[in-house]
Amino acid sequence: MADFDGSAIWSEALEIARKDIPEQEYLMWFRLSYKALAEGTLAVNAPNSFLRDQFNRKYHSFMQNIIRELTALDLRLEVSAERAMDSTPRPASVAVEEILASPSEKPALSEVERSAAPKTSLYYDVSGRKHQKEQGIAVDNTPRIHPSLRQDYKFENFIVGDNNRFTFNASEAVAKSPARVYNPLLIYGGVGLGKTHLMHAIGNYVFKNVPEKRVICITAEEFTNEFIQMIHDRSTHEFKNKYRNADVLLIDDIHFFQNKPGVQEELFHTFNALYDSERQMVFTLDRHVKELKDFSDRLKSRFDKGLIVDVQPPMYETRVAILKQKLIQSGKSVNVADEVIDLIANNVSSNVRDLEGCLVKLTAYADLVHKDLTVDIARNLLKEMFNTNRHSAITVDSIIRMVADFFKLSLSDLKGKKRSKNIALARQVAMFVIREVTEYSTTEIGVEFGGRDHTTVMHSCQKIEQMVKFDPSFDASIQKLMREARESESK
Ligand code: ADP
Ligand code: MG
């Protein structure tokens, strides 16, 4: 036992317990001071036998577990009610009897008690790492940096257009009054359209303006890994403790939880705990909640309590604005002609990240080669980036063409505006097949069909699903088309 600092273990265990139980309960029952650590027993002292007995009845096994998890040792917790033998002065405190006399009032810590509290305590940051935290007097002037929020994802540098105005406003409203307006807030949409940016912007806003609020930001993948680790280490308590104590919980890309019932279950309980105690949650995902596959229905229905908003690909004008702003932000004094901006904005349409990628490449070129960026040079430099976009369009186009052939129509019929019955059906079939065999979201499919709304795509897919159920020969045709589409995809 010589290597273990019993007093530190005890104060850390208290710290953990404190996060997990109502403040009033804590102040009432946890007035125990550390006594000794010897022979596998961690001994603490209660001020009187009444408190000792109550503690043992209500919280002994709870604390016992915390201590075991914390130390990974088979330590026994022993609570006695003698006068403390050690010299650690007990803080001049609100008398226990006083608290017991008025259990309904939340006793505040007195100034004396505050200053008598231990100078350092341990806390966990969002990544679960332990830290020593200075309490009280020391004033830290260095700007606080959140360990998992990207500092450059702010509201100030997010370009608002028709494609994202509603979502931007909802995000700002949530940041300004967490858990008061829309809870949870769900942001969905295609890749590279600013979902993560907005979610971090909410986190950054709260982190900066309400420092006492605990912001936890994590990707669904990290959350899942931690969850698995937690099961492996049997550190359930620490895991739950961490997430259920968030004031603002941000989880990115929750479609990752599809097909993972265990972690969905955990999220469900975390959700309930946070929702009930009025903490804000924000989630992002790449498709509408209704389109999540293998996803717990009760979790989905919880999401309906809040607001679900989407981000759409930016219009041409917004793309130009984004490019110009990113150029200024990069701080590079590269002169990019309007024609070059126009070239990019025309060729990269469905992903802001790709717009940025083009600029990075151009500015790198200008830095290294010191030549004027002509439109021709730019086109040459970026052709692969333009190609990547075209490449995915080819796959989708080939499916649309295949379906068009089947219905004896043309590609442009299906992509166009005509609404005759036959064309409309073929279009719906094509949307359905693309949805089934590719990773395209309904938003992205909508873009491929001349900028149709994602809800149109959703309705189309639902309609075909229904028809397939009731018409075996139609079903057979659809199956055949899907098979061919898959084959052409894998080529
Ligand atoms: P998503 O999470 O939707 O895949 P991100 O939030 O990661 O997309 O955005 C990709 C990149 O594009 C980020 O660098 C982000 O800052 C930028 N971005 C996206 N939308 C906008 C916007 N409207 N204004 C400024 N930058 C944007
Ligand atoms: Mg993202």
| pLDDT value for 3 | 63
Rounded CA-CA distance 14/16 in Å is 5
For ligand 1, mutation pick of 198, 221, 312, 352 (most atoms within 8 Å of CB): 352
| pLDDT value for 130 | 42
Which residue's CA is the closest to the ligand 1 atom numbered 5? 194
- Ligand 1 contact, 251 CB (< 6 A): no
Rounded CA-CA distance 273/241 in Å is 11
Please report, for residues 191, 231, 281, 298, the alpha-carbon distance to residue 239 in angstroms, rounded to integers and kept in the order given.
Answer: 30, 10, 17, 22
Q: What residue type is assigned to position 259 of the chain?
A: N
Check the CA dihedral 265-186-459-415 and report its sign: negative
Please report, for residues 69, 162, 191, 210, 319, the alpha-carbon distance to residue 187 in angstroms, rounded to integers and kept in the order given.
Answer: 36, 16, 12, 23, 20
| pLDDT value for 1 | 55
Ligand nearest 252 Cα, by number?
2
- Ligand 1 contact, 158 CB (< 6 A): yes
How far away, in angstroms, is 467 Cα from ligand 1 center? 38
pLDDT of 138 over the 60 cut:
no
How far away, in angstroms, is 280 Cα from ligand 1 center? 22
- Ligand 1 contact, 193 CB (< 6 A): yes
According to DSSP, the β-strands at 280-285 and 185-189 are parallel
Rounded CA-CA distance 101/301 in Å is 43
For ligand 1, mutation pick of 219, 353, 354 (most atoms within 8 Å of CB): 353
How far away, in angstroms, is 310 Cα from ligand 1 center? 13
pLDDT digits (tens, 9 = 90+) for 282-330: 999 999 999 898 999 999 999 999 999 999 999 999 999 999 999 888 8
Rounded CA-CA distance 410/167 in Å is 36
Contact present, 417 and 450 (Cβ < 8 Å) = yes
Rounded CA-CA distance 100/119 in Å is 27
Place of tokens 């997990």: 20
pLDDT digits (tens, 9 = 90+) for 358-413: 998 888 888 888 777 888 989 988 987 775 544 455 578 889 999 999 999 998 99
pLDDT of 48 over the 90 cut:
no
Rounded CA-CA distance 345/154 in Å is 23
Confidence of residue 134 (pLDDT cuts 50, 70, 90): very low
Rounded CA-CA distance 44/7 in Å is 10
- Closest atom of ligand 1 to 318 CA is 23
- Ligand 1 contact, 352 CB (< 6 A): yes
Which residue's CA is the closest to the ligand 1 atom numbered 16? 197
Alpha-helical (H) ranges within 154-291 are: 165-176, 195-209, 220-233, 236-244, 261-276
- Ligand 1 contact, 255 CB (< 6 A): no
By CB atoms closer than 10 A (0-12, 13-18, 19+), residue 124 is: middle
Place of tokens 């700002």: 172
Rounded CA-CA distance 418/409 in Å is 12
